[in-house]
C-alpha cells in the first residue's frame, strides 16, 4: 500500500500575497504570511502572560566585512529577526504592536553611491509590498515614530536572554535615546526572550513545509554525493558536490553549518571539517564515510548525516556497527510521540548501540542494561541523541525557564534539550557509535569500566572511525513524520552506490517513518510521492 501520511494543505498558496522564491518556478515559493503567522503566535503567547500592550522591537543583522578589508561577508539574517519578518537585507529594524498587531519595518536610507555599486535603491513602498507588513519607514525616522507610538502602547519589549546551546547572550536593541525609556521604566527585557523561544519551538504548518523542502533538497544531494564517492577522491570533493546540488537544484545558497565529510578514522571526530581539519583526506577503499551536511533555505535548515562504505559494500564489521546505529534510530522513531521524554528516547537508542557492541564482543561480562547503568554507552555514543531544529541548526528553547534541566549522567548531559515531546516540535534523530581513542583509552584505564571491555576485540576497531545516522522529523499527534528520505537500509545504500534508482519503488523500512515528497509544479508547496510499503 502507499504511504498513509500526506502533506499539509498550506493555506495562502493562492498567490495573491507576496512570496519568497529564489529562482522562479524552480524552488519552493514561501508566502510571507509565514512570518505574519509567527508574529501572531508570539502575540498570543504574550497575551496569555497578561502582556496585552507594548511595542516589540528588534534589530536585524548588520553587514559585516572580512577583518579590516572592504571584502563583504555573505550576509546572513539574525534568526530571531528572520522568524518574525523574513527580511533578507541588512540594517533593518522591526516593530510589532501587541495591542493591534501592526507591523512596521525601518529601512536604512542608502546613499546615491549604493546605486552604482549594488543596484537599484528601492522606496519604502517596495519593502511594504514584498514583506507584507503594514508600514515601512526609514531608520532615521525611528525615534520620531517611537515617541508617538509609546503614548499608545506604554512600554517597549526588548530581546535579551542566554542561548543555552552556545552560552551567548542576545544583546537588546540599543538606539539613541533609549536611556530615557529605561529611566521611565518603559523597557521590558525579561518577557520577550522566553515567549519568542517558546514560539519557535512549536512549528507552524508553514514552517514545517519549508523544513520539509530543506530536508528534501538535502536528502537528494546526499544521494548524489553517495553515488559520487569512490576511492581516490578527496573529502572536499564530496562537500563540493553537496554544495552544488543544494544550490543548483534547490536554491539553497548556504549550507546549514560547516560540512562534515569525514572518512576513515576522521569519522570518529564528531565535528570534523573545521579550519584545522578541512575535509582534505583522500578516500580509501576500506573507509567508512560519515557525511553530515545540511541545507538552508529562507533561514530554515536541515541537518542530515549519512554513513556508508566508500567501497560500496559493507564488511561484516561495518554492517554490525551500522545496523546497531540503525536499530537505535528505529527504536526512537517507533517510540517518540507527544508526552514521551527526549532523555528516555536517548536511553532507548543508547541501549540498542550497547546491544550491538555486546553482539560483536566488544562489551561483555554484564547485561546490556547493566552496561548502560555502568556508563559504558557514553564511551561509544558520547553526544546527545538529537536537538531542536528550525531557523538554527541547534534551535532555541532547549533549556528555557519552565523546562526540565540538563541531566548530569554521561551521555544524557550532552542532550541539547531534556523536554517532553510536543506536537509540532521538529528535532533530529542522530544516534552514533564511534571509536574515539581518547574515550577508549580513558575507559580502559578506569577499572570500573575496563572489566567490561574486551580489548582484544576492540583492537580490531581502532581506526574504524564511526557511524552516525541523522534524520529530521516532526512530532505529530500520534508519532513522528520523518522529513528525511535518504537510503538507510544496507541494501538501499549498496543499491544506490551501484547506480540503482532513488527514490525506490518500495519502502522496505516503514518503521523509519520516511515521508516521500517532491516539489509541486511552480514551487507551490510539497506533494506526496507514491512509494509502496512492503
Report strand pairing: 295-297 vs 254-255. antiparallel
Using a 10 angstrom Cβ sphere, with 0-12 exposed, 13-18 middle and 19 or more buried, the burial of residue 406 is: middle
pLDDT tens figures, 383-420: 999 999 999 999 999 999 999 999 999 999 999 999 99
pLDDT above 70: residue 11:
no
**Alpha-carbon gap, residue 467 to 389, rounded angstroms:** 21
pLDDT above 90: residue 21:
yes
What are the residue ranges of helices labelled H in 171-234? 178-183, 192-201, 205-228
118: Cβ–Cβ under 8 A, 6 or more apart, which residues?
none
The answer to whether the beta carbons of residues 159 and 58 sit under 8 Å apart is: yes
Please report where in the chains the cell 519503488 appears, as a residue.
505
pLDDT for the residue 3: 30
Residue by residue, what is the 3-state secondary structure of 502-517? CCCCEECCHHHCECCE
Phi, psi of 469 (to 5 degrees): -125, 120
**Alpha-carbon gap, residue 185 to 181, rounded angstroms:** 6
Chain centroid, CA 389 distance in Å: 4
**Alpha-carbon gap, residue 136 to 48, rounded angstroms:** 29
pLDDT tens figures, 283-293: 999 999 999 99
pLDDT above 60: residue 78:
yes
Average pLDDT, the chain: 96
Closest CA relative to residue 379, chosen from 435, 326, 317: 435
Q: What is the mean pLDDT of residues 303-322?
A: 99
**Alpha-carbon gap, residue 196 to 45, rounded angstroms:** 8
Local confidence band at 375 (pLDDT 50, 70, 90 cut-offs): very high
CATH architecture of 52-190: 3-Layer(aba) Sandwich (3.40)
Closest CA relative to residue 143, chosen from 209, 93, 89, 196: 93
The answer to whether the beta carbons of residues 487 and 218 sit under 8 Å apart is: no
Local confidence band at 24 (pLDDT 50, 70, 90 cut-offs): confident
Q: What is the mean pLDDT of residues 127-141?
A: 98
Phi, psi of 533 (to 5 degrees): -100, 125
SS3 141: helix
SS3 349: helix
Closest CA relative to residue 60, chosen from 22, 106, 101: 106
pLDDT for the residue 149: 94
DSSP 367-396: -HHHHHHTT-HHHH--S-S--B-SSSSS-S
DSSP symbol at 25 = T
Q: What is the mean pLDDT of residues 423-437?
A: 99
pLDDT above 70: residue 499:
yes
Local confidence band at 115 (pLDDT 50, 70, 90 cut-offs): very high
* Residue range(s) in the chain whose domain bears CATH number 3.90.230.10: 201-533
With a pLDDT cut of 70, the percent of the chain lying above it is 97
pLDDT for the residue 421: 99
pLDDT tens figures, 55-69: 999 999 999 999 999
Positive/negative CA dihedral, 382, 385, 387, 389: positive
Q: What is the mean pLDDT of residues 222-250?
A: 99
pLDDT above 80: residue 8:
no
**Alpha-carbon gap, residue 487 to 223, rounded angstroms:** 8
Q: Which three cell numbers stand for residue 81?
A: 529577526
Interhelix angle 235-250/205-228, nearest 10 degrees: 140
pLDDT above 60: residue 2:
no
pLDDT for the residue 470: 99
**Alpha-carbon gap, residue 465 to 7, rounded angstroms:** 38
Fold of 201-533: Creatine Amidinohydrolase (3.90.230)
pLDDT above 90: residue 76:
yes
pLDDT for the residue 12: 46
* Residue range(s) in the chain whose domain bears CATH number 3.40.350.10: 52-190
pLDDT above 80: residue 204:
yes
Q: Which three cell numbers stand for residue 492?
A: 538501499
Using a 10 angstrom Cβ sphere, with 0-12 exposed, 13-18 middle and 19 or more buried, the burial of residue 330 is: buried
pLDDT above 90: residue 89:
yes
Amino acid at each position: 500500500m502507499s504511504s498513509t501520511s500526506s502533506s499539509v494543505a498550506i493555506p495562502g498558496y493562492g498567490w495573491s500575497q507576496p512570496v519568497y522564491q529564489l529562482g522562479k518556478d524552480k524552488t519552493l515559493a514561501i508566502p510571507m504570511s509565514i512570518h505574519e503567522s509567527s508574529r501572531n503566535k508570539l502575540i498570543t503567547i504574550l497575551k496569555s502572560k497578561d502582556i496585552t500592550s507594548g511595542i516589540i522591537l528588534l534589530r536585524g543583522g548588520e553587514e559585516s566585512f572580512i577583518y579590516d578589508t572592504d571584502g563583504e561577508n555573505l550576509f546572513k539574517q539574525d534568526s530571531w529577526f528572520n522568524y518574525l519578518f523574513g527580511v533578507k537585507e541588512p540594517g533593518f529594524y522591526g516593530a510589532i504592536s501587541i495591542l493591534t498587531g501592526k507591523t512596521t519595518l525601518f529601512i536604512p536610507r542608502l546613499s546615491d553611491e549604493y546605486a552604482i555599486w549594488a543596484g537599484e535603491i528601492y522606496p519604502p513602498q517596495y519593502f511594504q509590498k514584498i514583506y507584507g507588513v503594514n508600514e515601512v519607514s526609514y531608520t532615521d525616522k525611528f525615534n520620531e515614530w517611537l515617541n508617538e507610538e509609546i503614548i499608545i502602547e506604554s512600554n517597549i519589549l526588548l530581546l535579551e536572554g542566554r542561548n543555552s546551546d552556545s552560552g551567548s547572550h542576545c544583546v537588546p536593541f540599543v538606539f539613541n535615546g533609549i536611556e530615557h525609556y529605561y529611566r521611565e521604566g518603559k523597557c521590558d527585557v525579561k518577557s520577550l526572550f522566553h515567549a519568542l523561544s517558546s514560539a519557535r519551538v512549536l512549528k507552524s504548518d508553514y514552517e514545517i513545509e519549508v523544513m520539509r523542502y530543506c530536508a528534501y533538497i538535502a536528502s537528494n544531494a546526499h544521494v548524489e554525493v553517495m553515488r559520487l564517492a569512490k576511492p581516490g577522491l578527496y573529502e572536499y570533493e564530496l562537500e563540493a558536490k553537496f554544495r552544488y546540488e543544494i544550490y543548483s537544484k534547490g536554491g539553497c545558497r548556504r549550507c546549514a553549518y560547516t560540512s562534515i565529510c569525514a572518512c576513515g578514522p576522521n569519522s570518529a571526530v564528531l565535528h570534523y571539517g573545521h579550519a584545522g581539519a578541512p575535509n582534505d583526506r583522500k578516500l580509501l577503499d576500506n573507509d567508512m564515510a560519515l557525511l553530515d551536511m545540511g541545507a538552508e533555505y529562507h533561514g530554515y535548515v536541515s541537518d542530515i548525516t549519512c554513513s556508508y562504505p566508500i567501497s560500496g559494500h559493507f564488511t561484516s564489521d561495518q554492517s554490525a556497527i551500522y545496523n546497531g546505529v540503525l536499530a537505535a534510530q528505529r527504536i526512537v522513531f517507533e517510540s517518540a510521540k507527544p508526552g514521551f521524554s527526549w532523555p528516555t528516547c536517548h536511553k532507548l537508542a543508547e541501549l540498542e548501540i550497547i546491544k550491538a557492541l555486546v553482539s560483536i564482543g566488544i562489551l561483555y561480562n554484564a547485561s546490556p542494561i547493566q552496561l548502560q547503568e555502568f556508563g559504558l554507552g557514553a564511551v561509544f555514543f558520547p553526544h546527545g541523541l538529537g536537538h531542536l531544529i528550525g531557523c538554527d541548526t541547534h534551535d532555541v528553547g532547549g533549556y528555557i525557564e519552565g523546562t526540565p534541566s540538563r541531566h548530569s549522567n554521561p551521555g544524557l548531559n550532552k542532550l541539547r534539550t531534556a523536554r517532553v515531546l510536543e506536537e509540532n516540535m521538529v528535532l533530529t534523530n542522530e544516534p552514533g557509535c564511534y571509536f574515539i581513542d581518547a574515550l577508549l583509552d580513558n575507559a580502559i584505564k578506569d577499572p570500573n569500566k575496563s572489566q567490561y571491555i574486551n580489548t582484544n576485540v576492540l583492537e580490531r576497531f581502532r581506526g574504524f572511525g564511526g557511524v552516525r545516522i541523522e534524520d529530521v522529523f516532526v512530532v505529530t499527534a500520534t508519532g513522528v513524520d520523518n522529513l528525511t528520505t535518504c537510503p538507510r537500509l544496507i541494501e538501499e545504500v549498496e543499491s544506490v552506490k551501484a547506480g540503482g534508482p532513488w527514490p525506490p519503488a518500495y519502502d522496505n523500512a516503514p518503521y523509519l517513518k520516511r515521508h516521500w515528497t517532491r516539489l509541486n509544479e511552480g514551487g507551490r508547496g510539497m506533494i506526496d510521492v507514491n512509494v509502496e510499503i512492503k
